[in-house]
Amino acid sequence: MPASRDGELALRADPDGELASRADPDGELASRAQLGDREAFERLVERLLPRVRAFLHRLSGSRGSPDDLAQETFLVAVRRLRDLREPERVASWIFGIALHVHRESARRTRRGAELADVPAAVGRTGAEADEERAIVNDAVARLADRLREAFLLRHVEGLSPAEASLALGVPEGTLRRWDFEARERLREILKGRGIGGPATRPATRIAP
């Protein structure tokens, strides 16, 4: 997974310096957790749980409970942690489980994977920001499931094409095509709705 700011902070905060030379703290933490290291697991949860919760929330909107879905995801992960063959790919693995849990939940409840309402927001406030969020959420909700999943994993969660394709269980070429289709579709939907022109403030760029 791409080195995030959180990751850098975690490396700096590592008291033993064990992780300092590692480019992939998640992989290292997962390896240690597989051996029963609770502290490593706790740190892994600290790093991945917020991302997984946010991802599940964006996928299911206000109709699903991100806590329930995230808990189910991590309980499955705990059960299978020893079977994880490539700890360095733990992020793709967890997101893959989360996707699976989300799809199963959507199928059970037959409510689909729609972003029905505009979920709660942080950051900008005001009518204009609310309207922009509503338009964007509506546009993303109109994407086919696979396109939405590919887009969120790539551009919001910041997974690389290889990581996202692994989480989705498809070849990288397919992921790239879905991502391209998602972007084209979003461009079509948002055309003429006031989004797509120059923005007024910078956005945080997540690693490609």
Partner 1 sequence: MTLDLVDRVAAVLRETAPPVEGESLRPAILEAFDRELRAPARRPALRWSVAAAFAAAVAASWLVVAARFESAPPIVRTPVALAPAVPAVDRAFQEALVKARIAALRETVASVGREPVERVVPPATVAPPARPVAAESLAIRKVAAAADEPVGALYRLASARRFESLDREGAAERYRELLQDYPDGSAAEVARARLRDLSR
Report in angstroms how near the CB of residue 71 gets to partner 1 at its nearest. 6
- For residue 7, count other CB atoms closer than 10 A to its CB: 18
Does residue 162 bind partner 1 (CB under 8 A)?
no
Does residue 79 bind partner 1 (CB under 8 A)?
yes
Closest CB to partner 1 among residues 20, 75: 75
Report in angstroms how near the CB of residue 181 gets to partner 1 at its nearest. 9
Closest CB to partner 1 among residues 19, 77: 77
Host H or E run for residue 106 = helix 90-109
Residues of this chain, 174-193, that bind partner 1 according to CB under 8 A: 174, 177, 183, 186-187, 190
Distance CA 40, CA 34 (A): 9
User: Which one among 9, 20, 23, 121 touches partner 1, defined by CB under 8 A?
Assistant: 121
- Packing angle, helices 90-109 and 38-60, rounded to 10: 40
Distance CA 80, CA 70 (A): 15
Report in angstroms how near the CB of residue 74 gets to partner 1 at its nearest. 4
Contact between 27 and 87 (Cβ < 8 Å): yes
